Structures are given as structure tokens and as C-alpha cells.
Amino acid sequence: MAKQVTKIVKVQIPAGKATPAPPIGTMFGPLGINLQEFCTKYNDATKDKIGDIIPVEVTVYEDRTFDFVLKTPPTASLLLKVAGLSKGGVKGANEIVATITKDQLRQVAETKLPDLNTKDIEQAMKIVAGTARNMGIAVKGLNDAELEEQAAEAKEAEAEMAKLDAELETMEADAKAYADGEIPEVESTEQKAETEKEEEN
């Protein structure tokens, strides 16, 4: 008779570094499984992947035993690794923070293939490229036209900013001169008319 499943938990843990401390202890402690046993088994299964974050799907049974299945690392963490980044761009696709090669893209796609909804490497590369784009990571040879366009846009934005800065400086200089009394107050037409009227009376 098959054992009854009480819970299936999905969690992402750094390879080879599981410990019974939180967050693992917090997640699995209430389920009554042997935390030290889980950590030892997970660390043994992932010791060759140290440096990666490995998602794991843990099935907990009624008798407090467990099984687990390792998944491939998240696409984002694989891309950060090949790009040599600690985090992606804040502005997503609007800010290129790194460029990777098509070979590196293929390498990430091959790693992710078992967990993707496709068995076609070209399709997998497109999926991974989409994630890369949202993280501000461009792919050389794939986003070249886009990179040139963004460089031109950045140049344009820089020129616009320089123009605004210059205008602001002029305004600030005028305001300072006005405050220092270097520029005489310009009398408005209405004020002038009122003054003349008073003089006539």
C-alpha cells in the first residue's frame, strides 16, 4: 500500500549548504521530519553544484518519512552566474547591466531544459533569452540591434540631461543674482500705470 502524502513543500536552497536552522527548520520542523537527515541527504545530492541555488520538491509522508526531487537552478540565478553579476538590473529591459554570449545562453538553456515545457534547445534558448532581457542582460548577436538602439537612446538622454542641467544652472545664477540685489526689480505694466495715476492725482 502506498504511503499517504501529508504535504509537498517546494523550497530553494544553496547547494551543499542546507542546515536545520531557519528557514529550513521553520518550514520542515512542524512536519516532524528528521531535519538533520534531510540536510545531510540534500547536501550530499548537491555537493557537485555548490555555488548554485537548487530548488527541491520535498514530499512528506504520514509516517514522517520523506522523499525529495531536485530541480534545475532558477533561470535568473544561472544567468547571474554566467554574467558575473550579484543581481539583475533595477530597470529590467530598460537598462543593460551585462552582456552574455550565445554560447553562454545555450549553456543556461541546456541546464534548464529538463524543467522547461519544451525539448527543443532553440525554443529553450528563446525562453531563457526572455528572462535575460527582463533582468537587463543582453545576448551578443541576439540583441545587437537593440543594444545599438539603447546606446543611441542613452546618448540622447544624456544630451537632454546636460541641456536641462545648463538651463537649471542659468536659472540658479539668475535667482542668486536677484537675491543679491544685482538685478533691478522689473516693474510690471500694471504697477507702472498705477504709479503714473497716483502721480497725476
Structurally, how many domains does the chain consist of?
Answer: 2
Do residues 98 and 66 both lie within one domain?
Answer: no
Of 142, 170, 190, the domain-final residue: 142
Do residues 112 and 62 both lie within one domain?
Answer: no
CATH code for position 52: 3.30.1550.10
CATH code for position 80: 1.10.10.250
6-10, 115-119, 134-138, 194-198 — most confident range: 6-10
pLDDT at 193 (0 to 100): 54
Report the alpha-carbon distance of residue 79 to residue 48 in Å, rounded: 19
Q: What is the pLDDT of residues 59-88, one digit of tens each?
A: 999 999 999 999 999 999 999 999 998 887
Report the alpha-carbon distance of residue 139 to residue 76 in Å, rounded: 14
136, three cell numbers: 537587463
Residue 35, domain member (yes or no): yes
Average pLDDT over residues 120-143: 88
The Cα-based distances of 115 to 49, 51, 69 in angstroms read: 17, 19, 12
Residue 195, domain member (yes or no): no
Residue 161, domain member (yes or no): no
Range of the domain at 14: 5-70
Phi and psi (nearest 5°) for 65?
A: -90, 170
Of 70, 96, 114, the domain-final residue: 70
pTM of the model: 0.59
Residue 18, domain member (yes or no): yes
CB count within 10 Å of CB 107 equals 17
